[in-house]
Structure 1
């Protein structure tokens, strides 16, 4: 097989699902690759709700990596309950033999461990926050906090939308999209918030009323995780005005915002001991990337095309990146690494722009005070 990376060392920055999948696809083709991750070790808890990899996109990358069956073993097919503000179930979507593999939910750490177990021992270098990247004697010189300098022939940036390393390729600024999400989780929900846990009925639960949206999953590695989604208040023009170090302040904020919702929702808020708040952001694809790169380097995943999570496309689009780029590197159609990268980026701009547009359209709908998940789902 034609391999543009023979005798080349590849450095991937970021050990998220996209970076680790890229590493696996490279190792399958005999490439020497190291992944550098700022997390202290593999046990570092990744905050956030479950991920669902879609048939036809994210799942195709895992299939190519030989990991699709392991994903199915570790993921949970989940139905959906849509409720109103009075905690009345309006609609239920059940899991069937036909749809069970469409997009089952997986805990983020479980997905990381699945990918790590597939890689050669020592592939990921932990506690390695990249601080500088420059050309030196025909190679990339990578400098880190806490670990020694490294060199590589080809660098793939996969460490998220707020990455500073991506400026070597793309200087476009990240934009806030106008929505704010507050995430909370409750361990042992069957004990700590039994009424809400019962309302979920073993399914993801969604509710929307007067511009406040709730999305919850009762099964996230022993915890119930949920997100509250709302249009960012105008008075938060510069900074959000909540102190996330003070859970009582967030609970008070929710009890006020959800004052006309049923008590079962208020139980959920009162039992939450830890919150994270984040504005939704987008990395636009409306400007060309740098063409004067001194050595092979590119972006994949959120580093390339950060988007709000309102179409379920973020990680799935990133996994399509891994397929597209790896295919170009090994299919024999390109004479140089740079040509393979250029073709990947042209294709990525098209499909990632479509995914961003779908997410933006959904976000506009969801900001409408009359928005209903009933319309959204059906």
Structure 2
């Protein structure tokens, strides 16, 4: 690890990508800190379950020596997929992917347990909580990081793992994402077995993809007994800002759903009537597929910060964890003469891989919100 000798590394963002990178670097004796804006590991509810792929997310965990911990925390059977139409009629089922070859094994794990097993793999005090990043400034031969509470930190290398709205990305490139034409509305139901029993029964602890009328409703069970759901429909870019809906008002969101998803079976009403907290509108964006920038010796990025894309290819966390693995391997590879060469090598392969996945994601986004959604998913899953 000669190119990292005497260098302090700061990772901004404590999601799966940032934590995986910290683990890989610490396995190679690097000096690394993770700066996370959350007040602590339990500061907020974690989102939907994640299916990890053999060639990316699971590969990163294998290289990080964490497969035993993963197997103790994943949810067997949670990758069960049921596809339905708006009338709640089953059009296809995909129940037994776990029984195939290992490369088709796409086990589900809740985001919370995944982050916890990664946190537990790190040295004590690696993560500096309540560190809401504000700015980067050149200092000597490195960087000064400033946080919202007035604290600062210094580092020789900074890595942005701060997600879709990355505040570090603009220090690397002015390229901005474009609107992908769709807005999701996210909600959650706690104690789903009692609060939303009919949908809970349809889920069978797996996932539901409901598609009709150029719209989607994706529902995912979680290990804590809750479920999360996401509507998807084509809107103007600033619909969530301009529509006049108060997304903290359950009645207003339910009224919008009934108007927009006209003719959908009453069973789906359970979700909106029993949602446990405010809803979150999520307009979807994608980085240009041909993006490029000039590599820097002391600043780079991974995951959504580098290659934001819509979620309909299921690659987000997998891409971030594979980025972390490949960046970690480049930075700890003694065949590279310096950090600039290592980072440039990582970024080149990362951009190529991301462009390919973004193209697939955009195709899926369009197809799943078209009249041919069900034939498309039949072909994709089979």
Q: TM-score, normalised by structure 1?
A: 0.94
Q: Is the 8 A contact 1:141 1:152 kept in 2?
A: yes
Q: Which residue of 2 aligns with 1:325?
A: 327
Pick from 161, 168, 171: which aligns with 1:165?
168
Deviation of 1:71 (Å) = 1.7
Deviation of 1:99 (Å) = 6.0
Pick from 214, 218, 224: which aligns with 2:217?
214
- Range that drifts further, 247-256 or 365-374: 365-374
Q: Name the CA distance, whole Å, in 1 between partners of 2:306 and 2:238.
A: 30
Q: Which residue of 2 aligns with 1:84?
A: 85
Match runs of 1:111-260 below 5 Å: 111-146=114-149, 148-233=151-236, 236=239, 239-260=242-263
Q: Name the CA distance, whole Å, in 2 between partners of 1:328 and 1:240.
A: 46
SS of residue paired to 1:74: coil
SS of residue paired to 2:42: coil
Q: Name the CA distance, whole Å, in 2 between partners of 1:202 and 1:29.
A: 39
- Range that drifts further, 106-115 or 252-261: 252-261
Q: Name the CA distance, whole Å, in 1 between partners of 2:189 and 2:344.
A: 45
Q: Is the 8 A contact 1:48 1:183 kept in 2?
A: no
Q: Is the 8 A contact 1:283 1:305 kept in 2?
A: yes
Q: Which residue of 2 aligns with 1:41?
A: 40
Deviation of 1:196 (Å) = 1.3
Is the alpha carbon distance of 1:149 and 1:233 closer, same or farther for their aligned partners in structure 2, counting shifts above 3 Å? closer
Pick from 333, 336, 339: which aligns with 1:337?
339
Q: Name the CA distance, whole Å, in 2 between partners of 1:113 and 1:63.
A: 16
Pick from 298, 301, 316: which aligns with 1:299?
301
Q: Is the 8 A contact 2:12 2:36 kept in 1?
A: yes
SS of residue paired to 1:19: helix
Is the alpha carbon distance of 1:19 and 1:234 closer, same or farther for their aligned partners in structure 2, counting shifts above 3 Å? closer
Deviation of 1:289 (Å) = 1.4
Q: Name the CA distance, whole Å, in 1 between partners of 2:368 and 2:288.
A: 20
1:25 aligns with 2:28: no
* Structure 1 stretches of at least 4 aligned residues deviating more than 3 Å after TM superposition: 237-241, 373-376
Pick from 289, 296, 304: which aligns with 2:293?
289
Q: TM-score, normalised by structure 2?
A: 0.93
Q: Deviations over 1:274-331 (max 9, x none)?
A: 311101111224232145x4x5111111111011101111111111111211211222
Q: Is the 8 A contact 2:291 2:351 kept in 1?
A: no
Q: Is the 8 A contact 1:247 1:273 kept in 2?
A: no
SS of residue paired to 1:120: coil
Q: Name the CA distance, whole Å, in 2 between partners of 1:111 and 1:208.
A: 29
1:316 aligns with 2:318: yes
Q: Deviations over 1:218-276 (max 9, x none)?
A: 23422011111111158839745422121211111112223312221122221114311
Q: Which residue of 2 aligns with 1:62?
A: 61
SS of residue paired to 1:167: helix
Deviation of 1:369 (Å) = 3.3
RMSD (CA atoms)? 1.9
SS of residue paired to 1:324: helix
Q: Which residue of 1 aligns with 2:280?
A: 276
Runs (5+) with no aligned partner, structure 2 = none
- Range that drifts further, 266-275 or 147-156: 266-275
Runs (5+) with no aligned partner, structure 1 = none
Q: Name the CA distance, whole Å, in 2 between partners of 1:343 and 1:303.
A: 18
Q: For this pair of structures, how many residues does the alignment match?
A: 375
